[in-house]
Amino acid sequence: MSAFAFIPKAIVTLLGAASLAIFHSSCRTIEPDPEASGVVNQPTFALADLDGDGKISPREMAKFKHQEALAEFDLDDDKQISLEEWKVAKPSSPAGEESFRRLDRDSDGKVTEEEAVLSITEVPAFREGFSRMDRNGDGYLHWEEYAAGDGTSLNVTLFSDAPLPTPIER
Ligand SMILES: [Ca+2]
Ligand SMILES: [Ca+2]
Ligand SMILES: [Ca+2]
């Protein structure tokens, strides 16, 4: 009899563990639908959320895109773009030096991450794309908004072919 008594107890334990697992997975509201394209986007969302608070600000998105570009164009790995690096990145741009000077707001000969972020967040297509995806209008992209939206307009870097805005003179 003791063997029969043991079996139901084991099943109850297993069921308990299973329902606990289901409970945990249902709590993870940012879990994407495996059938959706969100599977591709989820790692990007986590990486772009630089401070890890579960939402992406325009600055975080701009910084993330710039950091991706730095990996390719920052040849001396100082997180800044020099005029030499700029010319290597944009060899065919006739107005290369002029646009570099506009991006280098404090004219110290380097475009810092901060200067890049300022310029990227001022690009009209970036701003419009961001506010289009920001469905609840709180100024941040939450996972649901990010997964449901079209993020291609956010693919802006200093090295994009799209024209960068002329910084407002201060
Ligand atoms: Ca964040
Ligand atoms: Ca550099
Ligand atoms: Ca500078």
Name the more confident of 170 and 96. 96
Q: Cβ contacts of residue 100 below 8 Å, gap of 6+?
A: 81, 83, 86, 111
User: How far apart are the C-alpha atoms of 87 and 81, rounded to whole Å?
Assistant: 10
CA 67 / ligand 2 centre spacing (Å): 12
The domain segmentation of the chain, as residue ranges, is: 1-31, 37-154
Ligand nearest 114 Cα, by number?
A: 3
Read off the pLDDT of residues 104-140 as tens digits, 9 standing for 90 and up: 999 999 999 999 999 999 999 999 999 999 999 999 9
- How remote is the CA of residue 50 from the centroid of ligand 2, in Å? 21
CA of 168 to the centre of ligand 1 (A): 26
Q: Which residues neighbour ligand 2 (ion) by CB within 5 Å?
A: 74, 76, 78, 80
What's the 116 CA to ligand 3 centre distance in angstroms? 9
Report CA(100)–ligand 3 centroid distance (Å).
10
Select from 13, 163, 42, 15 the least CA-distant residue to 98: 163
CA angle 12, 13, 16 (to 5 degrees): 85
pLDDT of residue 12 exceeding 80: no
Q: What spacing in Å lies between the alpha carbon of 70 and ligand 2's midpoint?
A: 8
Q: Looking at per-residue confidence, does 92 or 30 come out higher?
A: 92
Beta strands in the chain (DSSP E): 55-56, 81-82, 110-111, 141-142
One-letter identity of residue 147: A
| Closest-approaching ligand to the CA atom of 46 | 1
33 or 83, higher pLDDT: 83
Write out pLDDT tens, residues 24-74: 444 444 554 544 554 556 778 999 999 999 999 999 999 999 999 999 999
Residue 148 has pLDDT above 70, yes or no: yes
- Tell the CATH topology of 37-154: Recoverin; domain 1 (1.10.238)
How far is Cα 84 from Cα 59, in angstroms, rounded to an integer? 26
What is d(CA 12, CA 93) in angstroms, rounded to the nearest whole number?
Answer: 70
State the distance from the centre of ligand 1 to the C-alpha of 16, rounded, in angstroms. 36
